[in-house]
Structure 1
Amino acid sequence: MTAALPAGVVGTELSPAGHARRRFFRNPVAVLGLVVLSLVVTASVLAPVLAPFGPNEIDLQAVRQPPSSLHPLGTDSTGRDVLSRLLYGGRVSVAIGFLSAAIAVTVGTLLGVVAGWFGGLVDAIISRVVDIMLSVPPVLVVIVVAGVLGPSVPMLIAVIAGLSWPSSTRIARGVVLALREEEFVQAARVLGSGSGYIIRRHLVPGVLPPVVVAATLLVSEAVLLESALSFLGAGVRPPQPSWGNMLTEAQSLTVLSSMPWLWLPPGLMIAATVLSAMALGDGVRDAVDPRRNA
């Protein structure tokens, strides 16, 4: 005869993914980060629907006008609607952040798993390349490449991804070095499983949680780097809007003191995106940590 379960206790045990999901949604800061980041991405994707004007639509009779019912966030130095440019600029900045992070994490994870699993000469070569890449100042590289090839969105994505993968490689390599000594991996080797199967079945799933956290941090770093480079003129080329080149309006003391609608909206969007991505990453890290109680 089976004893009755206490009230409120479900008869089926939660899976590890279920425990992680529950821990994540119990973290209010992480949930807030997810909500804010989702809103930013949604607004950027729906920019053609939400924007009241075209991003490059000029009205010379409404130059640097303060917020009004027609222009909720005012207009810039050529009469373009700030809200419209903010939404379209988000498409560029967010796309650069997510795409460069995705490429960097994919390449870095694969190289880190290979280095950690095979070791020896392969590990030595990859580790030395990582050390070299980490010593390269990214801003200087992008400025040089932009001077040679010209600033563009594909150039930014390629260069930021090319300079960001070493951090993921180090994380993946460290996890694999620990996993390769675990009993289940040793058992798979004894049973004759090949390296490809072990990497796919045992190593990559173990590497994914910390790599996902690294990916969220890379998104915030990429958005900040794009904004800084566009502000310096080495990033997204005007008139295409991005949050970074919208901040170039803030180079005048007059604008900073008396026209905050020109620089405050893009600055707040950059800060909100970066902080929410970091909060999301911290929440995911805490949620997938098996040492934490359910």
Structure 2
Amino acid sequence: MSSTLRTGTSTDITTPALGRGSRPVSGDAESRPKHPFQLGLEVFVQNRLAVVGVVVVVLAVLFCFVGPLVYHTDQVTVNLADANLAPGGAHPLGTDGSGYDVLGRLMVGGQTSLIVGLAAAAIATVVGTIWGAVAGFFGGVVDGVMMRIVDAVLAIPILFLLLFLVTIVRPSLTVMILVIGLTAWLVPARLVRGEALTLRVREYVQAVRVMGGSSWRSVSRHIMPNVLGTVIVNTTFQVADAILLVAYLGYLGLGISPPATDWGAMLSNGTQYVFLNYWWLIYPAGAAIIIVVVAVNLIGDGLRDAVEVRLQRR
């Protein structure tokens, strides 16, 4: 018996059979647009260098904060009898001029560099975002005064300003975080201000004004959330810049006081022995600075691509 049904006409109606394990395809499911966060995450993961940067930063954090719990060294007591020992079994990366184990010193110095970098970037981002959002939203005289302050501070070289500030106050972990954070907010302030100038004329911001909403509500609920992508990308570069600034100050001998240290101070101490070919006092700290800063910048590049794609789909 044929599976084809014949009617009074010559038209044949054939029922297609579903294959085993197959299911009907829903057109709505395929055409449903992806969430912007999911789309941005896919773009970020496709950037292999950005993924490598994330892995490197995670390994650096584990090395600096978990490493001392596994590899125990004395980073407080000076031991001149073990000064400048070459790498060996007891000291995989040798010792420095004070007898400190260089591998353990690298972990302790990394804690300072990473803590200051992350904390200073967070302060700079928060201050710069609020400053730029308020200036861009209100515009006019308020924007003019606030941005002239930013321009005046930007006219002073940041490194010179940092050198001046750390000579006034005794450098410590908290002081370095505040000093670097409160001098690095200028760039995010200008970025956010530019975004706010375009967002304040959007319909949803104007609707808040018409409905009697306060200016702070417009800034906090609409302006700042919509510049979040730009802020996040800039934050990664702020972390890299802060780590470099810590290294600059440490290299110039204006870092935190011993026995604490940072990678810049380690590099500065190592240059005293450059003609003695004590490479283990120079290369590890220098390599750590370069690797971490490059990794953070790669993450920033990946986030920038992800944010651009997310904004194109909005």
Query: TM-score if structure 1 supplies the norm length?
Result: 0.91
Distance in 2 between residues matched to 1:54 and 1:250, nearest whole Å:
19
Distance in 2 between residues matched to 1:184 and 1:256, nearest whole Å:
65
Query: Which residue identity does 2:134 align to in structure 1?
Result: V
The alignment's C-alpha RMSD in Å is 2.2
What are the within-5 Å matches in structure 2 for residues 78-117 of structure 1? 78-117=98-137
Partner residue, 2:73: 53
Distance in 1 between residues matched to 2:190 and 2:172, nearest whole Å:
29
Question: Which of 120-129 and 139-148 deviates more?
Answer: 139-148
For residue 163 of structure 1, the aligned residue among 146, 161, 183 is 183
Partner residue, 1:276: 295
Distance in 2 between residues matched to 1:60 and 1:11, nearest whole Å:
71
Q: Relative to structure 1, is the Cα distance of residues 98 and 165 closer, same or farther in structure 2, using a 3 angstrom cutoff?
A: same
Partner residue, 2:206: 186
Query: Which residue identity does 1:19 align to in structure 2?
Result: L
Distance in 1 between residues matched to 2:306 and 2:235, nearest whole Å:
15
Partner residue, 2:25: 4
Partner residue, 1:267: 286
Query: TM-score if structure 2 supplies the norm length?
Result: 0.86
Percentage of identical aligned residues: 37
Query: Which residue identity does 1:166 align to in structure 2?
Result: L
Distance in 2 between residues matched to 1:57 and 1:15, nearest whole Å:
55
CA contact (8 A) 1:247 1:263 kept: yes
CA contact (8 A) 2:51 2:299 kept: yes
Distance in 1 between residues matched to 2:202 and 2:127, nearest whole Å:
25
Query: Which residue identity does 2:292 align to in structure 1?
Result: T
Distance in 1 between residues matched to 2:168 and 2:208, nearest whole Å:
50
Please state whether the residue corresponding to 1:83 is helix, strand or coil. helix
User: How far apart are residue 5 of structure 1 and its match?
Assistant: 4.0
Cα deviation per residue 1:196-253 (whole Å; 9 max; x = unaligned)?
Answer: 222222211111111111111111111111111111111222221211110122333x
Question: Which of 9-18 and 69-78 deviates more?
Answer: 9-18
User: How far apart are residue 260 of structure 1 and its match?
Assistant: 1.0
Structure 2: gaps (5+ residues): 1-22
Question: Which of 194-203 and 120-129 deviates more?
Answer: 194-203
Question: Which of 154-163 and 11-20 deviates more?
Answer: 11-20
Cα deviation per residue 1:62-103 (whole Å; 9 max; x = unaligned)?
Answer: 221121121111111122100101001111111111111100
Cα deviation per residue 1:43-72 (whole Å; 9 max; x = unaligned)?
Answer: 222243033312234443322112112111
Q: Which has the larger radius of gyration?
A: 2
Partner residue, 2:243: 223
CA contact (8 A) 1:172 1:211 kept: yes
Please state whether the residue corresponding to 1:101 is helix, strand or coil. helix
Q: Relative to structure 1, is the Cα distance of residues 292 and 28 closer, same or farther in structure 2, using a 3 angstrom cutoff?
A: farther
CA contact (8 A) 1:55 1:81 kept: yes
1:131 is the counterpart of 2:151: yes
Partner residue, 1:65: 85
- Count of matched residue pairs: 290
Partner residue, 2:304: 285
Cα deviation per residue 1:146-172 (whole Å; 9 max; x = unaligned)?
Answer: 222222222211111111111011011
Distance in 2 between residues matched to 1:63 and 1:11, nearest whole Å:
68
Structure 1: gaps (5+ residues): none
CA contact (8 A) 1:63 1:75 kept: yes
Partner residue, 1:29: 49
1:258 is the counterpart of 2:277: yes
CA contact (8 A) 1:250 1:256 kept: no
Distance in 1 between residues matched to 2:149 and 2:305, nearest whole Å:
31
Distance in 2 between residues matched to 1:278 and 1:95, nearest whole Å:
17
CA contact (8 A) 2:255 2:261 kept: no
Question: Which of 13-22 and 168-177 deviates more?
Answer: 13-22
1:40 is the counterpart of 2:68: no
